[in-house]
Amino acid sequence: MQNASLMKSRELVFPWFCWPAGKTVHMVSNNIHIGDAIGNFILYVHDLLQSNKVPCRLYYSGAYSPELEGKVYPISELYEEIEPTDILIVNFSIFLPELEALSQLKCYKAAIFYGITPPKFLQAYQPELADHCLRGYQQGHLLDAFDQYGAISESAARALQKIVHKPLKLDEIHIIPPLVDFQKWSVVEAETIAGLTCDRSLLYVGRVVPHKRVEDLIKLFAAYSKLDEAAHLVIVGSTDFAIYKDFLDKVLSVDYSFLKDKVHFLGMISDGQLKTAYQSASALVMMSEHEGFCIPLVEAMHFQVPVFAYGQEAVRETLGRSGKVFYEKAFDGLARDVYEVLSDPQKQQLIVNRQTQRLQEMQASANGSALWKFLEAPLVFEDEYPV
């Protein structure tokens, strides 16, 4: 959905310090995929560093998007390339087979934590993936050997505190929010979405995976459609978690067959089509029970789409008391609340106004300054005084 080449913001902060000659930043991740939130962040950072003449190399442990051939390298090459004066940044979000070896490297080591999906969400669908998440939590002690820590949100930072074994204060963790390009959409042309014609729609944007609780979204829409028969539910995002998608199809066909023509799984779509989806949406609705930051909330703010979201910790942090959060999934009552807001232009505008204010607040923290501060930390030294 997001083209990494369009992720460059024209308002990113220029670094306030000179980069030392001969010092390379080496970034490691399990996978590096265009369109994935972590992959986009890594590619964004790489391009930002390169544009400011900071040498940077990317390494993958598992897989990468074919379009990145020649831009990313297998992690086996890292051990030959890295020097003691270099900086290693490990992007940590799941079990990383090489983490123990990386923790023993004789260079400055930093970790950026995105959160790990709790295994309970995955066990019924992909036990092997659930095990990888569990083993990721169990690797926390290996991060004790690192020199510096970052996280994409305070929520993720608190989770990081729980998995490392050494004492780690919250103010010792750099909060590095995703580098959101607030001007991106002005250069993206809206594109038609074939087969989708509806005047009113509830929109979901994100991967179709168990912890996003798309089944709860369907339950809410079933209640909402009784109040607004013309409404549709539009679900945008990768459906490659096949077992879970099969489960959702079964839920629709068995329990909610009356919705079969009103629920649309669009899969991965172009940025132009995503722009159309936001512009035509009545509201963005999120039922997720695990997030690290949740970029779609920010995108909805930009498009002035009212947000209704389950009050998960990172979601609350991103919204910052804007939008409208709920703390229990009582679908009939929640459907009435959504319908009441969407039937009242004044209430809609109040929500949008708060979201716009929150968006303006976020611009200051998502312009790259936090990243440069994170990168400056290994360079800083203290003055020496004679005893």
Mind giving me the DSSP string for 287-322? --S--SS-HHHHHHHHTT--EEEE--HHHHHHHTS-
Rounded average pLDDT over 134-147: 98
Q: Is 311 a residue whose pLDDT tops 50?
A: yes
Tell me the backbone φ, ψ of residue 26, rounded to 5 degrees. Answer: -110, 120
5-9, 80-84, 278-282, 380-384: least confident range: 5-9
Number of CB atoms found within 10 A of residue 275's CB: 19
Q: Is 14 a residue whose pLDDT tops 90?
A: no
Between CA 51 and CA 71 the distance in angstroms is: 15
Quick check: 310 and 286 in contact, CB under 8 A? yes
pLDDT in tens, 175-213: 998 877 767 788 999 999 988 888 899 999 999 999 999
pLDDT band at 5 (very low <50, low <70, confident <90, very high): very low
Classified as helix, coil or strand, 25 is strand
pLDDT in tens, 327-337: 999 999 999 99
Classified as helix, coil or strand, 200 is strand
Percent residues over pLDDT 70 in the chain: 96
Q: Is 152 a residue whose pLDDT tops 50?
A: yes
pLDDT band at 10 (very low <50, low <70, confident <90, very high): very low
What's the pTM? 0.91
For residue 349, give every residue at least 6 positions away whose Cβ sits within 8 Å of its Cβ, in sequence order, or none: none
For residue 164, give every residue at least 6 positions away whose Cβ sits within 8 Å of its Cβ, in sequence order, or none: 140, 141, 143, 144, 149
Domains along the sequence of the chain with CATH? 4-179+366-379 (3.40.50), 184-365 (3.40.50.2000)
Q: Is 268 exposed, middle or buried (0-12, 13-18, 19+ CB in 10 A)?
A: middle
